[in-house]
A = this chain, B = another copy of it.
Amino acid sequence: MIKKKNIECKNCALKSSLLFESLNEEEYTMLNYDKNCQIYKRGDFIFHEGNHAIGFYCVNEGIIKLYKTGIEGREQIITFAKEGDIIGYRSVLSKESFCTTAKVISDAYLCFIPAQRLFKLVESNANFSLKLIQQACKELEVANKYITDIAQKTIKERMAEVLLKLHDEFNVNTEGYLNIPLTREELANLVGTATESVIRMLSLFKSGGLIELKGRKIKILQADELKRISEQL
């Protein structure tokens, strides 16, 4: 984990997707003073489930996966975090240990902000609090949708949905491939199935002309058809 010169929060292009935009001059200064930014490589851990949360992280660059470890060490990916997202804040605020593990998928640059600073911001800035609550509520809504999907949909439907979700969230590169490199196993841990099932579904979609595969790279060819499948029509 290499350390890198901190970017001024005030000048950060992201401002964490507008979460921090309501901060005043002094709050920016303090946030900037307390933080600690680092470069992480694919495979690096940001934090581990069960560990004590002494602060949270703001993602400036890269992709992080957040997962829970279930039975026999099987990972269940809960969500991804990318530039502008903050992670670990929940565990800080609820004063409990991290309930997920955060691991780097694409090389990343993250700023660590100690717990105390977060509490102070909540205390001093009502607008910030509101944004934070709204963030948590949004995540909760997504989680509830996820629960319903996993409980009610087939693997095929969920696979189609996941591909579309990845497209929405990470878009495609110049060649048209999804901008997130996932192993088949990671896809399986996201959909909530076995690796082999993911492979079978992908090759089914491929043979149907819905997607194109090139190693780990996935190109969506017929989004409308995937959508139809994901909604079991």
Contacts and interface: CB of A to CB of B under 8 A. Distances in A.
Judged by DSSP, the binding face of A is helix
A143 to B, nearest CB: 4
Interface stretch (A27-35, A71-79, A177-185, A202-210): A71-79
Copies of this subunit: 2
Interface of A: 68, 70-71, 74, 76, 78, 90-91, 93-96, 99-100, 119, 122-124, 126, 129-130, 132-134, 136-141, 143-153, 192-193, 232
25 contacts: A70-B152, A76-B151, A78-B144, A78-B147, A90-B137, A94-B138, A95-B134, A99-B141, A122-B126, A122-B129, A122-B130, A122-B133, A123-B126, A123-B130, A124-B126, A126-B129, A129-B129, A129-B133, A136-B137, A143-B143, A143-B144, A143-B147, A150-B150, A150-B151, A152-B192
A133 B144 CA distance: 17
A66 to B, nearest CB: 9
B93 A148 contact: no
Given A126-B123, A129-B133, A133-B129, A148 B94 contact: no
Given A93-B130, A94-B137, 13 more contacts: A70-B152, A71-B232, A76-B147, A95-B134, A122-B129, A123-B126, A126-B129, A129-B129, A129-B133, A133-B133, A136-B137, A150-B192, A151-B193
